[in-house]
Amino acid sequence: MDQEQLFKNRNADQDSEKKAVEWMESNNLSYVRYGLDALKSGLPIWNIPQFVRSAPDYIIFTNAVMAKDKKPMFLEFKSFYKSIKLKTRDLEEYIVWGRSMPLYILFYDIQNNAFSLNKLDNIVKSMFSNLCKMGHYPESADNTYYFIEKEWLVNFK
């Protein structure tokens, strides 16, 4: 199987992002779509600078579910089946994005239909205090990721 086919197979189920919208609406969050959503475009998105490609998926406006202040925040949505993988280059860019506004990651466990909302800063602390393992996607040894343990995240609901 060639690199392009491996990538397409890995990204075939992008419909799970509908779950992010359901979650935001069920928590009465106001939101706007922000980040690039172009996997199905057929365009050479790899030519777009990494920082732009890694823009968080949404800007959300907080309520009681979130932080004390009512300022907007970035929300990145990550679905997973069995194991949680966070690309190293995405994490680097999320840290930069997080300097502008707080950045949260909403993890969606496909297998258990459960969500976990986590502040990026807390994820990074857990990753490095637990010396998380790394791997790479089959299409490229340069496309590395961190394994995030589900136990490091706040309760899934």
The per-residue pLDDT for range 7-17, each reduced to its tens digit, is 343 344 556 78
Please tell me the distance from the alpha carbon of residue 134 to that of residue 55, in angstroms, as a whole number.
22
3-state secondary structure 91-144: HHHHHHHCCCCCEEEEEEECCCCEEEEEEHHHHHHHHHHCCCCEEECCCCCCCE
User: Of all residues in the chain, what percent carry a pLDDT higher than 90?
Assistant: 54
More confident residue, 146 or 63: 146
> Predicted confidence band at 1 (pLDDT cuts at 50, 70, 90)?
very low
pLDDT for 56 equals: 96
Calculate the CA 20 to chain-centre distance: 11
Please tell me the distance from the alpha carbon of residue 23 to that of residue 27, in angstroms, as a whole number.
6
Orientation angle between helical segments 88-97 and 120-129, nearest 10 degrees: 140
Average pLDDT, the chain: 84
Query: What 8-state DSSP symbol labels residue 64?
Result: T
Mean pLDDT calculated for residue range 3-28: 68
Domains of the chain: 3-152 (3.40.1350.10)
Query: Per-residue pLDDT tens for 95-150?
Result: 999 999 999 999 999 999 999 999 999 999 998 888 889 999 887 788 899 999 99
- Alpha carbon separation from 82 to 29, 31, 112, 147, 151 (Å, rounded): 28, 28, 9, 11, 13
